[in-house]
Amino acid sequence: DQSIVYYQRDCSLITFYSLVLSKGINQFKMRLNHSFLSTFLTLYAALINTNANANANAETTSTSTSTSTKIIAEEEHEIGYIQSLKLQIPPLESVTSEFQQIEIYESKHYGKVFVLDECLQLTEKDAPHYNEMLAHIPIMEYIIMSMNMKKQKRIGSETQTETRMDMKPLKVLVIGGGDGYVVAELLKHSFVESIDHVELDQGVIDVSSDHFPWAKDLWKNEKVHLHIEDGAKFVQQKANALSESESTSESYGYDIIIQDSSDPF
């Protein structure tokens, strides 16, 4: 079944197993038992071998027309781990800003790849995995903390309980994240009233706007206020203004602060 082969390419064993169950494929019984698992694993192994052979044949036939590539690697010295990604060259764009070399590459499996000073920042395909966590988990935590459980009177033999959410419009500060993904995710929440986005390098903003769909018109949104400056200095200036002001923290402070800055080494 071609649908099985299609799903197997891009998901884990457990996910593939659940897909097989949900598809109700005729060759399998829906009860989980030893016979089912054995049959499933046999099929899975056969699919892996089939795909491996297909990939090998494809690489053999396309050698003469293949695009020139380079490999970018990242090593975690503390744990002895290294990962690499193959990029197509030349880059789609290469800009030298006041602070760094900014490059966008195309890749075969991960879409466009964003690189700063030869350090991988994100790829189009895996960017949601961590950017969604950076944006939505703080929002969800704030919502939970804002929920006020209040018990009502006992009516008959039952006690009714209502959940009340005292949500005010949120003010968010994002430091770094010049690719714009975190800010784009935050804007999915209608109760986010304003976002101060502090990015050191205007070049990162410009390149991201040109190449990533989520960033194309991001900083034109009336809720987003872009500040091209050092994040640490921006926060210190805000803190100083708050301490010198007689206004309440609601006027100058933030409900959520997200730091999405580059590695400091």
Residues carrying an active site annotation: 260
Closest CA to 172 of 209, 136, 145, 202: 136
Return d(Cα 151, Cα 153) in angstroms, integer.
7
Coil vs helix vs strand at 59: helix
Q: What is the DSSP letter of 248?
A: -
Tokens of 92: 């789609």
Q: Which residues contact 215 (CB under 8 A, 6 or more apart)?
A: 179, 180, 181, 184, 208, 209
b/e per residue 173-212 (b: at least 16 CB within 10 A): bbbbbbbbbbbbbbbebeebeebbbbbbbebbbbbbbebb
Closest CA to 195 of 169, 174, 219: 174
Return d(Cα 7, Cα 13) in angstroms, integer.
10
